[in-house]
Amino acid sequence: MNVLAIGAHPDDIELGCGAALLAHGQAGHAVTMLVMTAGLGPAEQRARPEEQEEAAALLRARLEWGGFEDGRIPPDGPAVQVIESTIARTGAEVIYTHAPGDSHQDHRAVAAATAAAARRTQRVLCYESPTSLGFSPTHFVDADGLVEAKLGLIRAHLSQVMKNGLVDLEAVEAQARFRGFQARVRHAEAFEATRFVWEIPQLRHTEEQVSALKKESAL
């Protein structure tokens, strides 16, 4: 399975769906991360691209950059084109992106651009962020046993973890437990689904079962 995770800034993806991406990786799925900006604002944030590369290496994910300016991601045109071409190039079957309700303009823009670019994708899940507004999850990914590794991914973004009150590892851990409680598992990540086609695993009948079924239908 080909998985694409899209985030506005370095660390958005890990916070929103780090555990889901770890699970995809363990299942042997090909994971690509598309980070739309390098998060370069003040001089002290210069470390962010390197930190993103470290987190992608931990996930064994392919890392791509959208090349937009921090704070100025457009919700249409060029951003839609970048996401569309990444979907085509990676053959993405599952897409993770920002949820539309968010106080950060870049997060809202990425949510809108993804909705347009992924109009033909059958599975689009929107993750929450520390700046989400009115997030109301409909889908959950079981994150049991993956929370420590998820915290490790976020720790790779040290410059943010150290300076940014919005990235709080204790809160991330508590959030995983609370979302797990809502999902009736121990730990979980939560999503709003734009679209989610559920493929029920096909039941394989034995030859005996097939002939019994044929007899039954002949009656």
Contact set with Zn ion (CB under 5 A): 8-9, 12
Nearest-CA neighbor of 48 among 31, 61, 62, 36? 36
Q: Which one, 2 or 131, has the nearer CB to Zn ion?
A: 131
Smallest distance, Zn ion to C-beta of residue 159, A: 14
- How many angstroms separate the CA atoms of 72 and 167, rounded? 22
Q: Looking at beta carbons only, is 12 or 64 nearer to Zn ion?
A: 12
Minimum distance from residue 67 beta carbon to Zn ion (Å):
16
- Which residue number, 105 or 136, has a Cβ lying nearer to Zn ion? 105
Minimum distance between the CB of residue 5 and Zn ion, rounded to whole angstroms? Answer: 13
In the bound complex, what is the minimum distance in angstroms from residue 147's beta carbon to Zn ion? 21
Nearest distance from residue 60's CB to Zn ion, in Å? 23
Among the listed residues 114, 111, 113, 160, the one whose alpha carbon sits nearest the alpha carbon of residue 134: 111
Specify the residue, 12 or 14, whose C-beta has the smaller distance to Zn ion.
12
Nearer to Zn ion, 17 or 183 (CB): 17
Closest residue to Zn ion, based on beta-carbon distance: 9
Q: Is the dihedral of CA 104, 109, 114, 115 positive or negative?
A: positive
Nearer to Zn ion, 8 or 151 (CB): 8
Q: Is 63 left (phi over 0), alpha (psi -120 to 50) or beta?
A: beta
- Please state the closest distance from residue 58 (CB atom) to Zn ion, in A: 19
